[in-house]
Amino acid sequence: MSTFPHFGTAAIHVGQEPEQWDMNQVVPPISMSSTYKQDNPGEPKGHDYSRAGNPTRDVLQKNLAALEDAKHCQVFASGLAATSAIINLLKTGDHIVCSDDVYGGTQRYIRRVAVPNHGLEVDSVDLTDVQNLEKSIKPNTKMIWFESPSNPLLKVVDIAAVVQVAKKANPEIVVVVDNTFMSPYFQRPLSLGADVVVHSITKYINGHSDVVMGAVITDSDEFQQHLFFMQLG
């Protein structure tokens, strides 16, 4: 979370403190190493293998978490990789309520991978009317997934209302909001009660079509550990 009062200040400072580097670099250095020396076996100095993290990723993750006013952020090689890491939290027989308008890659992953290969159940629902959600929640519903505004039809969902309905039905239901189209500058779903925020950094956060990356942001320590395990294996 950011201690800076303004979004712009947090965007250019959080995670980028020169004092964290040996040479006090004002611009964070790019870490190219895949492995890190340990003084003794099993005693890494913060990092041991770059799949699980490196100093450059630490900077980005701290910054993105601050922009969403959150505790944790994990970045992934793409938005869809971030999506799959979240859905891998679920088990065979679990049910997802998914908005009827979501990014095509998300929809294909759920319907063509998660459902047939992992035994998940999914219902596509127009969540612009929360009464549809009330009718769709089942005893095995474990996750609500939606975008607001959605891609591509720009459907706007009342995030707080969805959270209220979901948590009333079952406090353990995980509410996931894809915040790609709004970005944290305009909307912070965690402040509205969502459990998890996902971004395709490729789009508005990056802004100039030269990066493919995804991020998952949450206040949950338990969910953070799940994401870290997905990266480390």
Which of 58, 178, 195, 219 does the annotation list as catalytic?
A: 178
Nearest in space to 97 (alpha carbons), one of 87, 88, 105: 87
Q: Report the DSSP pairing between strands 196-200 and 174-178.
A: parallel
Residue 195 annotated to the active site: no
Which of 58, 101, 103, 142 does the annotation list as catalytic?
A: 103
Residue 51 annotated to the active site: yes
Residue 103 annotated to the active site: yes
Residue 167 annotated to the active site: no
Which of 49, 167, 203, 204 does the annotation list as catalytic?
A: 203
User: Which residues are the active-site residues?
Assistant: 51, 103, 178, 203
